[in-house]
Amino acid sequence: MARDQVHCHGILPASPEAVWSVARDFCGTWHPAIATAKAEHGPQGALIRAFTTHGEDTLYREQLTYFSDSDRTLAYRHLQGIAGIESYNARMTVSPAEDGGSAITWTATVHGPATRVAQVCNGTKSIFNDGIAALGKAVVQAAPAQDMPVPVALKSLTIDDLPRLALSVTPDLGQDTLCLFLHGIGGGRSNWAQQLGAVGSVMRAAALDLRGYGGSSLGARQSTVDDYCEDILRLRDVLGARKLVLCGLSYGSWIATSFAMRHPEMLAGLVLSGGCTGMSEAGPDEREAFRVSREVPLNAGQVPADFAPAVVKVLAGPNATEATRQALLASMAAISASTYRDALVCFTNPLERFDFARLTMPVLMMTGQHDRLAPPAEIRSVAGRIWDSAPQPDVRFEVIADAGHVCNVEQPEAYSRTLIDFLRRLPQ
């Protein structure tokens, strides 16, 4: 078997935004070779384009495996139509050109018998070059803004078994999938109020107060990530969900990924904001330093309300409104010292290093443009690792413009639009 790569590059006078507005339409017919195209969805919701080309009867199918509006990048793999190869994976990126305009990079890696690989690579080079030329002539049309759903009413629910769990829930729509929101170490379920209301019109949703936060109680012993996973399972049973979409922020993202490592078959989707790996890839010294530094004020007798202003300065983006800062302050001030210490100890004692090959569900990763704790470069790298490792990758990565760490609170509409776009194409 042989493996070869096609690499095509072109410079266009139009802006990257204008070119991407055309190229991002994975199921469009902007390429001159495409005669017909329609969108399909795989069993887990992955976007598939089924298309024919001029002069051929062959039906081709390609699956989108990676997408980022923020980076103007998409990747896809061949499913059907190209005979005699083992695999075909392609990637396109639109970026600013040095002297203005756009630079288009389009690559493909082909694996199969040497003679057939050479034939496919030659054909691919022509297809890519024709596509780049077509992008230079395409008429740019602004995509219509997606209508935001009318927010639904929320109600509070308490699960009284020990430990007590408090959550906000939306009405049951009769589906078997639940979107569950998990907050950060300095937050609470109220941080998700705007996302809950919007998502509740797409599928049933709930936001949980983690152990010790808000209306939930701490357990009888130090919490572990396995305890959080058991809480998620308990909540799933009480609400009658068969499948879950876990949506986490920071500490909540780490918990969500930990659950995905243990129960991938239960997840219809995984949404990770402002983090993913947590302390799972840090060495013992780094974890200890992180914990000790944050326990200093607690050991001096302070409570989170005392150091909340300093924390919010780190969490908030440079243009955060006063209302946003006050919301973050209120979340932090509501946490007890014992809860904060419990979460710190749990976070700095991870039970495993994540194996991203276990992620069999679609994954959406988001982070704030000004996130100091989980900067875009770091989360982009993790998204790439998931794409490399997952057996059937379906990854989207986006940067929430003008937002800090708690990006869903700072830019709720931008966050919710991307989230709802992700949720709408999952099987219900």
146 within some domain: no
- Residue 8: CATH number of its domain: 3.30.530.20
Q: Is the pLDDT of residue 413 over 90?
A: yes
Per-residue pLDDT, 142: 61
Q: Do 304 and 384 fall within a single domain?
A: yes
Average per-residue pLDDT in the chain? 95
In a domain, 149, yes or no: no
127 and 179 belong to one structural domain: no
Same domain? 244 vs 286? yes
pLDDT in tens, 86-144: 999 999 999 999 989 999 999 999 999 999 999 999 999 999 999 999 998 886 666 66
- CA–CA separation, 53 and 123 (whole Å): 13
In this prediction, residues 49-78 reach a mean pLDDT of 97
The yes-or-no verdict on residue 146 having pLDDT over 80 is no
Strand bridging mode 34-41 / 87-96: unpaired
Nearest to 365 by CA among 273, 280, 252: 273
With contact defined as beta carbons under 8 Å apart, do 96 and 109 qualify? no
Nearest-CA neighbor of 255 among 187, 331, 315?
187
pLDDT by residue (tens digit) across 6-18? 999 999 999 999 9
What is residue 202's DSSP assignment? T
Torsion, Cα 419 422 427 428, to 10 degrees, reads: 20
- Host H or E run for residue 233: helix 225-239
Q: Are residues 126 and 273 in the same domain?
A: no
Q: Is the domain of 133 the same as that of 166?
A: no
Q: In this predicted structure, what is the pLDDT of residue 428?
A: 73
In the chain, how many domains are there?
Answer: 2
Token output for 266: 């239960």
111 domain-assigned: yes
Looking at the domain assignment, is residue 143 inside a domain? no
Same domain, 131 and 196: no
What's the pLDDT tens digit per position in 159-194? Answer: 998 899 999 999 999 999 999 999 999 999 999 999
- The model's pLDDT over 213-232, given as tens digits with 9 standing for 90+, comes to 999 999 999 999 999 999 99
Say yes or no: 308 and 404 in one domain.
Answer: yes
Residues 389 and 351 in one domain: yes
Average pLDDT over residues 385-401: 97
Same domain, 398 and 281: yes
The string of DSSP letters for 272-317 reads EES-SSTTTTS-HHHHHHHHHHHHHHHHTT--HHHHHHHHHHHHS-
Cβ neighbour number for residue 140 with a 10 Å cutoff:
13
Tell me, yes or no, whether 64 and 178 share the same domain.
no
| Cα→Cα distances 397→16, 190, 257, 380, Å | 18, 25, 16, 7
Round to whole Å and give the CA distance between 12 and 265: 44
Q: Which two tokens stand for residue 10?
A: 């072109």
In a domain, 144, yes or no: no
Measure the CA–CA gap between 83 and 298, rounded to whole angstroms: 65
Read off the pLDDT of each residue in 391-403 and give the average, rounded to a whole number. Answer: 97
Domain range for 407 is 155-424
147 occurs within a structural domain:
no
Q: CATH number, domain at 412?
A: 3.40.50.1820
128 and 225: one domain?
no
Mean pLDDT of 421-426: 95
Domain closes at, from 81, 111, 137: 137
